[in-house]
Amino acid sequence: MGNEAEKPNIITSSLDFLVNWGRSNSLWPFPYGTACCAIEFMSTEVGRYDLSRIGSEYVRFTPRQSDVLLVSGTITYKQAPILKRIYEQMAEPRWVIAMGACACSGGFYDCYCTVPGIDHIIPVDVYIGGCPSRPEAFFDAMFDLQKKIKDESYMKQRAESVKEQLEMIKVKTAEAKCEAKTAIHEKVVDIKDFMKEKQENLVKKAQFWKE
């Protein structure tokens, strides 16, 4: 076995498949728990339901190291800027799950202080109903999210992200070519003038010596 690993190997695969496989099987959640849905999430994590068997091994309490923002609970207007800031601090690629009725739509809090759904603040990938949602529903949402990630194309995203740069480079090269052309044209004109002068000088010299 040891020898096999040392030999040079070749894996043929499409890059999209490989990247999506890696991403969808290591979704580390950031629990933004504010209400009873967070308690249901706790029971999803522990041994009975065991979230780590689908690769969500660690719950990360920092937005820098997590992939999925898991909003479980009521979001008030006082909390909205905090939630938005945490979403902005997460590194790409990032996904959002709205867990429970309150995070999806404000639930029964139809009042002055509750945000009617977190999609007013941040984009949401998967919504889970229930008040609070059961761990099975949460697993269903995780599988949906995995399916969604498997549909994504890493190369297309990358192409889109470098699209602007490509266009900029094209414009720059066209400009540079134009400049070079005009410069060469000027130089050619200069050389022609120089040749003309030389010829005239030669003609003058020839005439002088003839005389």
Partner 1 sequence: MTVEEIFAALEGKFDVKREPLDKWGITAVVAAPYLHNAVQFLKEESGIKFDMLVDIAGIDYLTYPNHEGPRFAVSYAFKSMKNPGARIRLKVLVSEENLKVPTISDLYANANWYEREVYDQFGVIFEGHPDLRRLLNHVEFVGHPLRKDYPAQKRQWLSTNDYLLPELEKRLEELGYKVIQRSKEVETNDNEFLEGSIKE
Chain residues that interact with partner 1, rule: CB under 8 A? 77-78, 80-82, 85, 110-113, 115-116
- Count of other CB atoms within 10 angstroms of residue 69: 24
Read out DSSP for 136-165?
HHHHHHHHHHHHHHHH--HHHHHHHHHHHH
Nearest to 55 by CA among 95, 21, 14: 21
Reading the block at residue 67, the tokens are 């992939």
Cβ proximity to partner 1, 58 vs 77, nearer residue: 77
- Count of other CB atoms within 10 angstroms of residue 27: 21
User: Minimum distance between the CB of residue 110 and partner 1, rounded to whole angstroms?
Assistant: 6
User: Minimum distance between the CB of residue 165 and partner 1, rounded to whole angstroms?
Assistant: 30
Cβ proximity to partner 1, 55 vs 107, nearer residue: 107
Distance CA 201, CA 207 (A): 10
User: Minimum distance between the CB of residue 146 and partner 1, rounded to whole angstroms?
Assistant: 34
Cβ proximity to partner 1, 104 vs 145, nearer residue: 104
User: Minimum distance between the CB of residue 97 and partner 1, rounded to whole angstroms?
Assistant: 23
User: Minimum distance between the CB of residue 83 and partner 1, rounded to whole angstroms?
Assistant: 11
Cβ proximity to partner 1, 63 vs 130, nearer residue: 63
Block residue for tokens 């404000």: 106
Cβ proximity to partner 1, 106 vs 132, nearer residue: 106
Contact yes or no for 76/35 (Cβ under 8 A)? no
Reading the block at residue 192, the tokens are 């022609």
